[in-house]
Amino acid sequence: MPDPLETVVYRTPLTTRFRGLDARDGVLLRGEAGWGEFSPFWDYDDVESASWLRAAQEAAHQGWPDAVRDRVPVNVTVPAVGPDRARELVAASGGCRTAKVKVAQRGPDGALEPLGAEVARLEAVRDALGPGGRVRVDANGAWDVDEALRRLPALDRAAGGLEYVEQPCADVAGLAAVRRGQRGDAAVPVAADESIRRAADPLAVVRADAADVVVLKVQPLGGVRACLDLAEQVGLPVVVSSALESSVGIAAGVALAAALPELPYACGLATVNLFVADVADPPLVPVDGALPVVRPEPSAAALAATAPDDETDRRWRRRLDRVAGLVLAGGAR
């Protein structure tokens, strides 16, 4: 890939603590085709970050495949917050009719959040969505099999029926055990996320019959085209989700969702609402529960509002140089 024409580092606080983060940052790359985003979380090493850079390079220098739809339905994401805040997030979601609710949060002592708190959050979300709303939960692999099987029935009732549970356990064997361990018609479908995007062999989920749905994220999986190829190999329904990116990164997820032949579920791409400020004006946020298939352009004013401190800027540029060298040398998976 050619060198980017321009690189810009951004940083913004989050409106609500999410995945242990109070802020989000990353690098924007401008190329002949437009802007791409490189924003692996800081717990990713350089080798694992290489796929994120390949996705940014694809966006900046190649562009994306043709779309088969011009709007992508999306869900609102509700972190581990109280019922009142959960209602506020749904109300401010831009008309989303589906919600993904975080569960299985653990405190500093390793103890799970009380089941009653999760139930209250789900009931609040269900009520805020109103009739016809859909609810799914995401455990981010934090349960063991027994915890998942104990908690899912109560969460399913609180939601008025769950669409699915995303990554209930950390490994493929755990996902398969949760699928097998549920009872008949009351079984909650299982979606695989981390077992796809952080796996050396994403197809292990399919061979183990461990999931009903797969969640694909463009940056961790190396780009829109790589995700389309993987979706074809997996052969299961696909939900496209974000890696908590700016509007530039979200646009890549929208491009993937727009290019998939089938899109049976709302996608988890409405996370720019969690940013205090965004790199684009207007930001890529839902209208009537959907995102348009567009490429947002960073503006000078928005980039100024998301400008990082000097140390964050240097840290990201050093990281970009390291990972780019790794990709160029062919030493990345």
In this model, does residue 1 exceed pLDDT 80? no
- What is the pLDDT at residue 184? 80
Span 28-43, average pLDDT: 97
Complete domains list, the chain, with CATH: 6-64+301-329 (3.30.390.10), 71-299 (3.20.20.120)
Q: Hey, which residues are catalytic here? A: 102, 217
Whole-number Å distance between alpha carbons of 20 and 222: 24
In this model, does residue 3 exceed pLDDT 80? no
Whole-number Å distance between alpha carbons of 35 and 305: 18
Span 207-225, average pLDDT: 97
pLDDT tens across 127-142, in order? 999 999 999 999 999 9
Known binding residues for Mg(2+): 138, 166, 193
Q: How confident is the model at residue 239 (pLDDT cuts 50, 70, 90)?
A: very high
- What is the pLDDT at residue 58? 98
In the chain, helix, strand, coil percent, each to 5? 40, 25, 35
Known binding residues: 138, 166, 193
- What is the pLDDT at residue 216? 98
CA 164, chain centre distance (Å): 15
In this model, does residue 323 exceed pLDDT 90? yes
Closest CA to 294 of 247, 236, 246, 260: 247
Which neighbouring-strand residues pair with 72? 291
Report the SS3 class of residue 301.
helix
Contact 217, 237 (CB under 8 A): no
Q: How confident is the model at residue 320 (pLDDT cuts 50, 70, 90)?
A: very high
Query: What separation in angstroms does the CA of 92 have from each of 34, 155, 156, 288, 289?
Result: 30, 23, 24, 11, 11
Span 301-324, average pLDDT: 98
In this model, does residue 240 exceed pLDDT 70? yes
- What is the pLDDT at residue 193? 95
Contact 254, 287 (CB under 8 A): no
Contacts of 124 (CB under 8 A, 6+ apart): 83, 84, 86, 87
pLDDT tens across 244-297, in order? 999 999 999 999 999 999 999 999 999 999 999 999 999 999 999 999 999 999
pTM for this prediction: 0.94
Query: What separation in angstroms does the CA of 93 have from each of 147, 264, 317?
Result: 30, 20, 33
pLDDT tens across 116-127, in order? 999 999 999 999
Closest CA to 193 of 162, 153, 234: 234
What mean pLDDT value characterizes the chain? 96
- What is the pLDDT at residue 333? 55
Q: How confident is the model at residue 331 (pLDDT cuts 50, 70, 90)?
A: low
- What is the pLDDT at residue 215? 98
Locate 224 and state its tokens.
Answer: 């829109």
Closest CA to 148 of 203, 202, 184, 189: 189
- What is the pLDDT at residue 330? 81
Closest CA to 128 of 158, 172, 86: 86
Taking residue 5's Cβ as centre, other Cβ atoms within 10 Å add up to 12
In this model, does residue 46 exceed pLDDT 90? yes
Report the SS3 class of residue 269.
coil
pLDDT tens across 153-195, in order? 999 999 999 999 999 999 999 999 999 999 888 899 999 999 9
